[in-house]
Structure 1
Amino acid sequence: MIWGRRAVWMFLALLVALSGGSRTARAQDELIVADQKGQQKAIMAASGADRNIPYHIHWVEFEAAAPLLQALGAGAVDTGIAGDGPFMFAWGAGLPIKAAYVIPPKAGGKATAIVVPEGSSIVSPAQLSGRRVATGRGSIGHLLLLRLLATGAIPAPAPKISFLLPVQAKAALDTGRVDAWATWEPYVSLEVVTGHGHIIADAAGLMPNNSFFVANNDALVKKRELLGDFYRRIAQAYTWGIQHPTDYARILAQQTGIPFNVATVVAEKLIASPVAVTPEVIQAEQTVLDTYRAAGLLTTTEPLAGAFEPHFAAP
């Protein structure tokens, strides 16, 4: 399985080293934080939660959760954020990672959706039968497709899935090489708001739709104090973002280059307060693991509780 290949892990570690983390990647006074589309760095900066930090944060940018989680498993980064689908996929494939905090779904699952381009005649998930759909392998978009298949919302024959990273998936959608794209924010809003596409299904009611702050097992032991401080600060930043969504959207647009109107939608859908993992959260995630198992994508028999770090207090 591709997730377990040591060569991939070493390659990702090398990429992080080349990005500037090689000199201090093992330093105990530095936390290497993986981000997606600059969203965590933006909210830390906008809220002021990144001020007077008694250690150095080295940010590393990733296009999607899959390579981010591979880097976590390789020990190239210490912590990062990922949706429950890719997290469970990575943990189930044997990566040495655990979820420390959960971010409940503010938008009830609408941050994950299947989009089609402007002018498409597809208006319902049933019309995806036999069509070409792009998504990331093990991503929350992939999980949404699997759930729609499991519930019968997409009848046989199943869609022909092209596993692509977001930039590749966007290009494939724009050029007609695929008919639809199962993706997540900010890509959903980029396609709908700026590309004039439309949503034909979202994840509301189909899966837990949690996101997690994930750490590798080594960092949980050796950098526990730093992780605790970072999670406390990011929780403060999210609380600020709930109270100041327009200010957060402005900073997000500046730091990531996405249009302000898209950043505004993203802020509305994604900003919720991180909380400690509870038994109820773990129980809900069983659905995700079972979905991957039923699809033949995971064979792990490890107890699900082993995917979570229960000993961090509420941030």
Structure 2
Amino acid sequence: MPAQAEDELIVADQKGQQKALLEAAGAAKDLPYHIRWVEFEAAAPLLQALGARAVDTGIAGDGPFLFAWGSGLPIKAAWVIPPRGAGSATAIVGAAGSPISSPANLSGKRIATGRGSVGHLLLLRLLAIGAIPAPAPHIVFLLPAQAKAALDTNRVDAWSTWEPYISLAVISGHGHIITDAAGLMPNNSFFVANTDALARKKLILADFYRRMTTAYNWGTRHQTDYSHILARQTGLPEDVAISVAQKLIAVPAPVTPDVIQAEKEVLDTYKSAGFITRKDDLSDAFEQNLTH
């Protein structure tokens, strides 16, 4: 690959998960460019940084990606990570001891989530199919650390969130799963890049996605090894890291027309709720011609 040593790829990460996987798999060896990792708490600020060209690429769930794209950010999804946990990596968590045990119990309750997050998308889907009856819950938009504190102090009744926060809450005994996203949405994640990086660093991005695909393949065969390294690098408890590895390790692949068609449901959900008005064709949100 004709990349120079001084070339740099700025990669956004969440909870150190991608860096841990790449290094555990040995897929970062002999890099002809430098990777600078930047840590984010959630997909929303990660995507804002992508749109501002502060980072080149990063992973986000389909919900926050399309929410950000729909707001006009110059970003595209270039590689898909299909769901491994059948939607269990997104869930609504109730506090330990809470009597809330089903979506129907969420009527009129206060639920924390991130604006435009996969947790937000899950709530919108539950409302759209009538699983949460009237009156609608009051959605409180908070970042994960704030949402956790709000749930722990009973300032909200539930938290619609994602991994590793689900496993952190449940395994620690501080929460229980009320419902998850299985069967309700595509549950894809994507490697997302800004359009400037796709134009200037296309070959580097293609090489990075190839290496991450190698790393994910390794992770599917060595989940225990990966979870040990994830725990060490991120500070997650070992049992939480094992749970996260089981739910999140799948094999990435290039975006296909079938993937784009499946994501129309996500876009339509946000549009129906009044959160997205962008009129561009959905295919404009995806990069299908990345050389690898």
Residue deviations 1:90-122, cap 9 Å, x none? 001100000000000011111000001110000
* 1:236 counterpart = 2:209: no
Q: Secondary structure at the match of 1:81?
A: strand
Q: Give the direction of change, closer, same or farther, for the CA distance of 1:170–1:196 in structure 2 (3 Å limit).
A: closer
Instruction: Give the one of 52, 71, 74 matched to 2:30.
Output: 52
**Segments ≥4 residues shifted beyond 6 Å:** none
Question: 1:119, 1:162 → 2: CA distance?
Answer: 21
Provide the rounded CA distance (Å) in 2 between the counterparts of 1:28 and 1:306.
Answer: 31
What are the equivalent positions in structure 2 for 1:213-224 lying under 5 Å apart? 213-224=191-202
1:87 to 65, 70, 92: 65
Say whether 1:266 aligns with 2:206: no
1:54 is displaced (CA, Å) by 1.1
TM-score, normalised with respect to structure 1: 0.90
Letter in 1 for 2:187: N
Instruction: Report the Cα distance in structure 2 between the residues aligned to 1:97 and 1:110, rounded to whole angstroms.
Output: 27
The unaligned stretches of length 5 or more in structure 2 are none
Contact 1:28 1:223 in 2 (8 A): no
Give 1:28 deviation, angstroms: 6.5
1:311 aligned counterpart, secondary structure: coil
**Corresponding residue for residue 139 of structure 2:** 161
Task: Give the match's secondary structure for 1:286.
Answer: helix
Pick the aligned partner of 1:178 from 156, 174, 177.
156
Residue 13 (structure 1) aligns with: none
Provide the aligned C-alpha RMSD in A: 1.0
C-alpha deviation, 1:195, in angstroms: 3.1
Q: How does 1:297-312 map to 2 (within 5 A)?
A: 297-312=275-290
Tell me the CA shift for residue 194 of structure 1.
Answer: 1.0
Q: Tell me the amino acid that sits aligned with residue 61 of structure 2.
A: G
**CA–CA separation in structure 1 for the residues paired with 2:141 and 2:104:** 20
Q: Tell me the equivalent position of 1:282.
A: 260
Task: Figure out how many residues of one structure are paired with residues of the other and give that number.
Answer: 288
From 139, 152, 156, give the equivalent of 2:130: 152
- Relative to the length of structure 2, the TM-score reads 0.97
Q: Please state if 1:35 is matched with 2:13.
A: yes
1:98 aligns with 2:53: no
For the residue of structure 1 that corresponds to 2:206, the secondary structure is helix
Contact 2:62/2:263 (<8 A) preserved: yes
Distance 1:69 1:93 in 2: 11
Superposed displacement of residue 50, structure 1: 1.3
CA contact (8 A) 2:51 2:73 kept: yes
- Quick one: distance in 2 between partners of 1:157 and 1:299? 26
Q: Matched residues in 2 for 1:116 and 1:211: separation?
A: 24
Q: 1:122 maps to what in 2?
A: 100
Contact 2:202–2:290 under 8 Å retained in 1: no
- Deviation at residue 51 of structure 1 after TM alignment: 1.6
User: Secondary structure of the residue that 2:203 maps to in structure 1?
Assistant: helix
Residue of structure 2 aligned with 1:212, choices 180, 190, 193: 190
